[in-house]
Structure 1
Amino acid sequence: MSHNTRCFAPEQKGFSFSENEIAVLRLLADGKREAQIADQLGCKIETVRARRNRMSAATGAKSVAQLLSLVTKNGYI
């Protein structure tokens, strides 16, 4: 996956996420823990946290549940 590729939701709300960030979202939505996500994506747990934190900051989400709700409603996953 390209680190520079940006994906846009059908109903763009001003957020853009990389393919890697979308992969983290999908795995979070599947109930995976950060360590499981890192293992599956072949990256460090710190990378998973950084991606999640960036998406939370971009959306204003205060929790993983809120982040998943926002991205689901806006068509990212």
Structure 2
Amino acid sequence: MAERKVTVEAEVGLHARPAATFVQAAAKADIDVTVARQGGQPVNAKSILMVMGLDVRQGETIVIRAEGDGAEELLDELAAIASAP
């Protein structure tokens, strides 16, 4: 299973537009993808309610995991979204 640790840079954290963009990118992949606050329980990264329910704020670290063909590329894309200011 591939993994990325990313610091969320958006002023609103992983909420609203950044969360929607993140979930849309995850949902287009045919592989399992999870996201969690560092040290927390992972949730389905394809669910907007679950991602927003994490209540990730600016400056916090998240852990994104994916398994399957294309996992590394997907994680690169999701990490870029999460770390965008």
TM range, smaller chain = 0.3 to 0.5
TM-score for both structures, normalised by structure 2: 0.32
When you count helix as a share of all residues, which structure comes out higher?
1
When you count strand as a share of all residues, which structure comes out higher?
2
Q: Relative contact order, CA 8 A, sep 6+: which one is greater?
A: 2
TM-score for both structures, normalised by structure 1: 0.34
